[in-house]
Chain A
Amino acid sequence: MDVRRKLAVLADAAKYDASCASSGSRRETPKGGMGNTEGMGICHSYTPDGRCVSLLKILFTNYCVYDCRYCVNRISSDVERAQFSVREVVDLTIEFYRRNYIEGLFLSSGIVKSPDATMAELVEVARSLRIDHGFGGYIHLKVPPGVSRELIARAGPLVDRLSVNVELPTTADLSSLAPEKTLGAIESSMAIMKEQIDESKERTKGMRDRKETFIPAGQSTQMIVGATPATDSQILATATRLYTGHGLRRVYYSAFSPIPHADARLPGKSPPLVREHRLYEADWLVRFYGFQASELVDGTHPNLDLDIDPKLAWALAHREFFPIDVNLADREALLRVPGLGVRNVDRILAMRRHRTLALEDLRKLRVAVRRSLPFLAFAGGSEGARVRTLDSMELRRRVEPAKQLALFESQVAAVGGQL
C-alpha cells in the first residue's frame, strides 16, 4: 500500500476525535530546525463540517485488538486496515509543516499487541521529529489507557500535549460499549500524567525564566455524547471530576456520529449536534463564568435545553437574581447576565470607573441587547429591566434566538467561548 492510500485510511480513521487544538504551548524553533509554537493555536484550514484543520490528525495504525462498539476501528469491524512506519509519519509531518498546512501532529493509534508496545511507536515518532529533525511544531500524542509510567515519562519532554480518552461518561456505559476499557484504568493514566506534570513543575519552581517543558499544553480528553443514555448531568459531573481531580486543560464532547459497519447496540441516529454545543457552552460557564455544573443541570432537569443556551436557561429559571445593575454589580453577577461575555464584562468594568453607563454604551459594544436587556438595570437611568418584564410569561419568547440562527450562533460561540 502506498503512503497516500495509508494516509487516506488512517486520517479517515482519526476523524472521530474532536480535538485539534494547537494552543497552550510555547516552543522556540530549534537551532537549524523548523517549527515553533507561540501560545495561540492556528487553524490552517476548515473542512465542510466547519471543523478546523490545525494538526495532521492520523492514526499510526487502525489495526486494533479492542472491540469498542462505537469505534470504527474495533477488531470486529471490517474496515480497510493500514499501518504507517515511523519514517512515513515523520516525513508527512515535515512536508505538511513546511508548506504551512499544519501546526503539527496529532498521532493516535489502534492498540496492537499491548498499550505499551503501541505507545512506544508513538513516542518514537515524537523522538525522531524532535531530535533527528529539529522539529519545533506542536505534537499531541493519544495515550492508550493502561500505559506504563516509564513511557509517559519518556513522552512528556517530547510532546506538547498528551491525552487519554475517557470515551464514555459512566462506568456502566464503558462496560456495555467498551468492554476492554475501564474508567479506573483510564483515570489512573490521567493521574500518572498529572503526577509527573506536578513533579516537573516542582523541579522548575523558583527558577528564573522557568518554562514548562513537560507536556506544556497539559492533558485533554474526549467523551462521546449520545451513544448511550447518559444524561448531560452525568456528562458534566464526569467532566468536573476530570477538571478538578486530574487537572485536565480541556474536555472535548463529541456527538456520536454514525460510523461505517456500525454495531447494532449503537443508536441508529446521531444526537442533535446542538446538544454537543450546549455541553461546550455549559463547560465554558463552569470554567470561566463561575457557574457550578449543578446549577445548570440537576436531578429534575438532567439535560440542557436544546433551544436556548444554558446561561439564558439559568437566568429564566432564576429571575429573582435579576435585574443586575450594569453600573453597580460585581463581575461575578455581570457574568451571569445572558448576552454578556467575559470580554464585554471586563470592558464594562473598565469603563464604569470613568463614567456612568447607559444602554447606548452596550449597544456600541455590540452586546446582544435583545437577550440581555430584560435582565439589566442602569443606575440613574430609566432603561433596562422592569420587574413586570422579568415576571412576564412571555419573557422566554422575547429573549430566545430565532431557531435557524441558534445553531450557527452557538457553534461560533463554542469556538470563541463568548456567551
Chain B
Amino acid sequence: MRYHLRRAVRPRLLVPALLVAGIVQLGFTAGGTEIGDGFGPWGVARLYAVMTPIVLVGLVAVLSRLWHDDDLRSNWLLSGADRPAVVKDTYRNFGAGFLVYAGFVVCLGVFAAFRLSDTPGWSLPLLTITVVGPLSGGYIVLAAAYAVARVAGGAAARTAVVTILVSLDAINQLPWLPLSASATSLAANRALIWGASLKNLTFAEVAPSTGFVVARIVLVVGATLSVALVALRFRRRLYPR
C-alpha cells in the first residue's frame, strides 16, 4: 500500500488544500451559506452533499496516474506476478486512491467537528453520517469507476462513471439512492433514509434506515468483488496463453 500511496503525490497534496479552502469558505462565512448559523445535522448534510461530488470529480482526474493500467501491468510483468499477487496489488492500488479520498472526507468531518463542538452528543451521529454517507458512498462510486475503467480500458470511462453518478446525485435524480455518494442529498433526505429529514432532526435522533444500510453494505461488498474480478480479468490478459 505504501508503494501506491507514494505514487499518489499530487492527489495527497490536495487534501491539506481542501482543508484550508474549507476553512476559508465555510469558517469565515458562517451564516452566509445555506448551512446557516445552526450547524446541526442539516449543516453536516449540506456540507457533505455539496462537497462530496466536487471532491470526487476533482479527485478522479488526478488519480489517473496512480490508477494507470500500464504502470501496474509493467510491474506485474517485471515481477512475473501470479494471480493472488495481482489481486492483492490491485486492491492496494485502488485502496491508495480511496485512502486519499477518505483523507478528504476526514478533513470535511474534522471541519464539521469544529463547527459542532458546542453541540451536545454530536460525535457518534457525525461518525455514522460520515461512514454511511460520503465514506461508503465514495467507496462505491470510486470502485465502480475503477472497475469500469479496467474493462473499458481508459481514464475517460472512469471519469465518466464518477461524473454521471455524482451529477445525478447532486441534482437529486439518482434512480436508486443507495448509489448516492453523499447520502445526504435533498432526495436522500426526502426519502427519509436518516429516520426523518436531517433538517428536522437533532443528533440524538439520527438513525439510518435498516434497508438503506443493508443496501449500502451489499453495494460495498459488490464493489469490492468487482475490483477483484477486473483484476483477474486483467491478469488473464497479462500473459499470452
The yes or no verdict on A and B being binding partners is no
Q: Which residues of B pack against A, CB within 8 Å?
A: none
Interface of A with B (CB < 8 Å)?
Answer: none
